[in-house]
């Protein structure tokens, strides 16, 4: 169509073919398989440019990390200055202490933390701490969850419960999981009473951003907190997505419920690869005594410490939360209005910082997404196809429907996005006709 013709396409300058020859699937992370033909040349603030020179407003933010916008000057300057004096020492450096002090000050409720590299390994560390502290094995999780790609946590969620999410993953590695629907306090109570004295931990995204963008319903997290306390179970918030995004103190602050352990990543470090586990002293001290092992060559490298420290400074000095609420909120309203205007059954749910866009199935009423099952009632495949139309119109989003709004998104991005989304819906209708 004419709309597609305005975007340059030189076949990714041959990069896709070269990538496919040396990288399995042409990518370095399976999450990117659907985007294997897109090569970006640079990102700045809320926008990206591909190798053909096409510009995009970015709502994927690198799967979340670029919460301050791409290539934030203050964070990048702090990191490059710090690494010019060396990067890993096999002992401590002052910056890692400073970084963790600032991190704890931001979170507010936690006594101690450790820095690592990926959210996946921080999840592993949290589950190990919880099992060591309780002497129990079982873990309650929620349908639709994603806590990383390791054998013990990766799962596919079907109507009959979880199954391995990958070939090569021994099914018995998932044997300790009890999977229950999100936002269902009664089902949760049933799990606790069916397994008295057996549940080491409950782990969850306090807002499920890997299953749509499902906020907790009033009372759900509070009841969960009570049940964990009453049963001697460690409550773990996986704040890899929500941390420093829903509020400076993450989902715990936003929803007013305090876990025992929490995991952070993504927005923690301005786009640099850092994760953290934070929590109560009695739990974290198990690492300190050596009773529980947690290691990593690159943990709290100079790069990581500088990135966390300067990101905390930026978030404290210029809190972006009001701006994200305003621009993300206006975007949600604008997208809904475009759906109505075009007579397209668009379904948008979530919060301004992280929301989910999809289509309702033909004839279905407006859907309140409360858990994995209601999410599956939407036409997710139609949105996945539409996400490629959006890319051709200069809006970069994930096929799975999540949209992240960054601190760098402003009035210009809002206007460009609504105008492009409008044309994308029209082009989609024309293609389908
Ligand atoms: N937990 C959650 C909630 C996540 O969204 C992710 C990554 N998308 C992870 C854990 C794993 O983090 P990483 O990709 O850094 O290993």
142: which strand partners? 180
Would you write out the chain's pLDDT as a tens digit for each of its 433 residues?
445 445 777 666 689 999 999 999 999 999 999 999 999 999 999 999 999 999 999 999 999 999 999 999 999 999 999 999 999 999 999 999 999 999 999 999 999 999 999 999 999 999 999 999 999 999 999 999 999 999 999 999 987 888 999 999 999 999 999 999 999 999 999 999 999 999 999 999 999 999 999 999 999 999 999 999 999 999 999 999 999 999 999 999 999 999 999 999 999 999 999 999 999 999 999 999 999 999 999 999 999 999 999 999 999 999 999 999 999 999 999 999 999 999 999 999 999 999 999 999 988 888 789 999 999 999 999 999 999 999 999 999 999 999 999 999 999 999 999 999 999 999 998 887 5
Q: How remote is the CA of residue 210 from the centroid of ligand 1, in Å?
A: 9
343 in helix, strand or coil? coil
Contact of 259 with 236, CB cutoff 8 Å:
yes
Residue 314 tokens, joined: 């930026």
Q: How far is CA 283 from the centre of its chain?
A: 25
Sign of CA dihedral 48, 50, 52, 57: negative
Q: Does domain 73-317 have CATH number 3.90.110.10?
A: no
What's 173's DSSP letter? G
Q: How would you classify residue 26: left for phi > 0, otherwise alpha for psi between -120 and 50, otherwise beta?
A: left
Q: How is the chain split into domains, by residue range? A: 2-67+320-432, 73-317
Q: How remote is the CA of residue 5 from the centroid of ligand 1, in Å?
A: 36
Fold of 2-67+320-432: 3.90.1150
What own/partner pairs with CB < 8 Å and gap ≥ 24 does 375-379 have?
A: 375/144, 375/211, 375/212, 375/214, 378/347
DSSP output for 220-284:
HHHHHHHHHHHHTPEEEEEETTTTTTSSTTHHHHHHT---SEEEE-GGGGTTSS-EEEEE-HHHH
Reading across the β-sheet that carries 354-359, which strands appear in turn? 346-351, 354-359, 402-404
Compute the 3-state secondary structure of the chain and give helix, strand, coil in percent, each to the nearest 5.
Answer: 45, 20, 40
Please name the residue that has the structure tokens 């305090």: 258
Sign of CA dihedral 284, 285, 290, 291: negative
Task: Please name the residues in contact with 322: beta carbons below 8 A apart, sequence gap of 6 or more.
Answer: none
Segment 36-58, tens digit of pLDDT: 999 999 999 999 999 999 999 99
Q: How remote is the CA of residue 138 from the centroid of ligand 1, in Å?
A: 21
Pocket probe mutation, ligand 1, options 30, 126, 142, 146, max atoms within 8 Å of Cβ: 146
Element (H, E) at 66: none
ipTM score of the complex?
0.99
Pocket probe mutation, ligand 1, options 122, 148, 154, 263, max atoms within 8 Å of Cβ: 148
Segment 360-394, tens digit of pLDDT: 998 888 878 999 999 999 999 999 999 999 999 99
Residue 26 tokens, joined: 């042409």
157: which strand partners? 162
Q: What is the dihedral of CA 57, 62, 68, 74, to 10 degrees?
A: -110
Rounded to 5°, the CA angle 272-275-276 comes to 140
Segment 174-192, tens digit of pLDDT: 999 999 999 999 999 999 9
Distance CA 339, CA 348 (A): 10
CB-defined site of ligand 1, < 6 Å: 63, 118-120, 123, 146-148, 205, 210, 238, 240-241, 265, 275
Distance CA 167, CA 339 (A): 39
Catalytic residues: 146, 238, 266
């Amino acid at each position: 169509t004419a709309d597609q013709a305005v975007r340059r396409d030189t076949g990714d300058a041959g990069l896709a073919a070269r990538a496919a020859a040396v990288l399995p699937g042409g990518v370095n992370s399976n999450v990117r398989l659907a985007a294997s033909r897109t090569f970006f040349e640079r990102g700045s603030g809320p926008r990206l440019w591909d190798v053909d020179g096409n510009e995009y407003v970015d709502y994927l933010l690198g799967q979340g990390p670029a919460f301050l916008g791409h290539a934030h000057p203050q964070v990048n300057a702090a990191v490059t200055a710090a690494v010019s004096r060396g990067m890993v020492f096999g002992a401590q450096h002052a910056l890692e202490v400073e970084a963790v002090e600032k991190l704890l000050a931001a979170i507010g409720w936690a006594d101690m933390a450790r820095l690592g590299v990926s959210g996946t390994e921080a999840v592993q560390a949290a589950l190990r701490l919880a099992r060591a502290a309780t002497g129990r094995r079982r873990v309650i999780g929620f349908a639709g969850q994603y806590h990383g790609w390791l054998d013990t946590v990766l799962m596919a969620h079907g109507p009959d419960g979880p199954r391995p999410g990958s070939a090569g993953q021994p099914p018995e590695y998932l044997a300790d999981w009890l999977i229950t629907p999100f936002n269902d306090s009664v089902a949760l109570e049933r799990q606790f009473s069916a397994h008295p004295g057996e549940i080491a931990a409950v782990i969850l995204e306090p807002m499920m951003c890997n299953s749509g963008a499902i906020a907790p319903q009033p009372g759900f997290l509070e009841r969960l907190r009570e049940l964990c306390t009453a049963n001697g179970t460690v409550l773990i918030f996986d704040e890899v997505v929500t941390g420093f995004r829903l509020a400076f103190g993450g989902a715990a602050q936003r929803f007013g419920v305090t876990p025992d352990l929490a995991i952070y990543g993504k927005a923690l470090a301005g786009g640099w690869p850092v994760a953290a586990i934070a929590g109560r002293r009695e739990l974290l001290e198990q690492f300190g005594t050596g009773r529980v092992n947690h290691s990593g060559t690159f943990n709290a490298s100079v790069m990581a410490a500088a990135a966390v420290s300067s990101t905390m400074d930026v978030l404290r000095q210029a809190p972006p939360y009001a701006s994200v609420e305003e621009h993300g909120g206006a975007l949600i309203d604008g997208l809904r209005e475009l759906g109505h205007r075009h007579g397209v059954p668009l379904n948008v749910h979530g919060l301004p910082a992280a929301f989910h866009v999809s289509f309702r199935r033909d004839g279905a009423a407006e859907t309140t997404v409360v858990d994995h099952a209601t999410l599956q009632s939407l036409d997710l495949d139609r949105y996945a196809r539409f996400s490629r139309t959006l890319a051709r119109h200069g809006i970069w989003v994930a096929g799975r429907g999540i949209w992240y709004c960054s601190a760098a998104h402003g009035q210009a991005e809002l206007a460009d996005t609504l105008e492009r989304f409008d044309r994308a819906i029209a082009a989609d209708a024309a293609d389908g006709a």
